[in-house]
Amino acid sequence: MAPSCNHNQNHSQNGQFLPQEVVVVVVPFPAQGHLNQLLHLSRLISAYNIPIHYITTKIHSHQVNLRAHGFNPLSTNNIHFHEFSTPVFNSPSPNNSNSSVKFPSNLTPSSQISSHLRNPVAKILHSLSHKNRRIIIIHDSLMGSVVQDFRTIPNAEAYTFHSVSAFTLFLYVWESIGRPFAIDTDMIKELPSNEGCFSPEFEEFMKSEHEYSMFNSGKIYNTSQAIEHTFLDLLSKEQISKGQKQWALGPFNPVVIQGTHQQRHKSLVWLDKQVPKSVIFVSFGTTSSFSDEQIKEIAIGLEKSQQKFIWVLRDADKENIFSKDFIKKIELPKGFEERVKEKGIIVRDWAPQLEILAHSSTGGFLCHCGWNSCVESISTGVPIVAWPMHSDQPRNTVLITKILKVGIVVKDWARRDDLVVSTEIEKAVRILMASEEGEEMRKRAEELGFGVKKAVGEGGVTRKEFDSFITHITR
C-alpha cells in the first residue's frame, strides 16, 4: 500500500468535527504483533473521518500491509503511511529454541532501529502542528523516546498504547511499585515469575522507554470491559494510573470478518470442507522457534490425537522478513504429511490467522498466548491450548486458563526448558477437541466472544468508550 498524500476533509456524519481540526499520528514498535494492533486501531479511528499518519520503517510498513487481513483494504484510504529508511543492523538468527532465555534475540535490533525514527517523527509532528488545531500521538509503550519531542509542540498530546493484556500490565506495575494494595489472592496464586521472559538487554530497554509515559495524557489498551473489567478497574486506581485517563478500545481486530483476498487462502478452502468446530488451528506467532526434536514431538502428538488440524510451520520472523537470506525448511518425520493428508494440512508461509479462527470449522487454537492471538481467539469464540514462550505470554496463559477459563495449558512456564513430549500434546488436543471438559471451554469461549461482539456493537460498552475517546481528542 503506497503512502498516501491526499488530505481528506475531516467531517463526521453529524458535523461535529471541522476540516483538518485534528490528526492522529501513530507510532508502532517495529515487530509484527505491535505493528498489527496499531494498524487495526488506525483503521478504527479513521472510520470517524480523522486522518491517520502511521509512521514506521519502509520494511515494516510493507510487512504490516502485506499481512493485514480480516477487513476491507479500502477502509485504510484515510491512513497516510510514512516510511523511513534506517541503518541496517546485524540481526541474530530468530532460532532461540536451544537458549535458556526464550526471548527472541532478533527483536533487540528493533529497539536500535526505532531510535533512528526520532528525527523524522519530530519533523512530521512540527509540520502537522502548523496545519491542524491539535495533533494526537498514539505511540507504542516501547516508542516513548521516539516521540519525546512532542513536548515542544503546544498543540500536541500523546497517549501510550500498551500491547499486552490489562491483567499482565496491572501485575507488572503493581509488583514494580511494591504491591501498594491488596488484591484477590486467587489472582496471584501459582502466578508464573517473570524470570526468563525477556533478555536482560530488552528489560533495560523497556524500563527506559516506560519513563517517557509520565508526560502523556492517557493510556490505550487493546482489550474490553467485556473481557477484563476487573483488571481495568485495578489499573484505574490512583496508585497505578497516577491520574492518567485510560481507554479500553479493543478488540482492535474486526469481530465480523471480511475476506481480503481475491483468491482465498488454501487453508480456508480446506476448512470449507470440514465439519463445524472440528479443526484445531496450530500456530505459534512470529517470534517463536522450536528445536527439530520439539517439531517431531508436535507432529507425533497431532497425528496420535486423531483430530483434524491446520499447522502453521514456519521459523520466527527475521528482522527483515523480505531478506533473501537462506531460510531453513523445517523437516517433519518421514512420511508424516502423507499419513495425515486426510486429517490435516501444513502451511509453511504466512496464514490469515483471523480468518481461520473465525471460520465455523475451527474449534480450538494451540498457540503461544501472545496477546494478539488471545484477543483474536476470544473475539471469535475459540478456546485455547496454551504454550507460552516468552514476554507477556506466561501471564496471559494464567488469564486464559485460570481466570477466563477458556483454555488449558500444555506446557507450564515452570517447565519452560523441558521437551514437551507427544503424549502431552496428544492429551491436551484431545481434551480441548473431543471431551466434555473441552466442550465446556468452547461454550465459555463462545459466550465471551458473543459478549465482545455485543460490546463493540451499537450501544455496547466498547463502542461507548471509543466514542468517548474520539470526543476527548476532538474536544
| Catalytic (active-site) positions | 34, 140
Residue 38: count of CB within 10 angstroms of its CB: 26
The candidate with the shortest Cα–Cα distance to 277, out of 345, 359, 361, is 361
| SS3 assignment for 272-303 | CCCCCCCEEEECCCCCCCCCHHHHHHHHHHHH
Q: Which amino acid is at 40?
A: H
Contact at 8 Å (CB) between 420 and 387? yes
The candidate with the shortest Cα–Cα distance to 4, out of 74, 66, 68, is 74
Report how far apart, in Å, the C-alpha atoms of 236 and of each of 123, 170, 209, 231, 243 are. 34, 10, 21, 9, 8
The candidate with the shortest Cα–Cα distance to 110, out of 124, 128, 89, 93, is 89
Report how far apart, in Å, the C-alpha atoms of 363 and of each of 274, 308, 434, 443 are. 11, 10, 10, 11
Q: Using CA atoms, how far apart are residues 106 and 218, in angstroms rounded to an integer?
A: 30
Q: Which residue matches cell numbers 526520532?
A: 118
Of the CA atoms within 13 Å of residue 60, those in its CB half-sphere come to 27
Contact at 8 Å (CB) between 359 and 268? yes
Contact at 8 Å (CB) between 400 and 369? yes
Q: Which amino acid is at 430?
A: R
Q: Could you say which DSSP state residue 79 is in?
A: E
| Longest Cα separation, the chain | 66
The candidate with the shortest Cα–Cα distance to 294, out of 100, 102, 97, 99, is 97
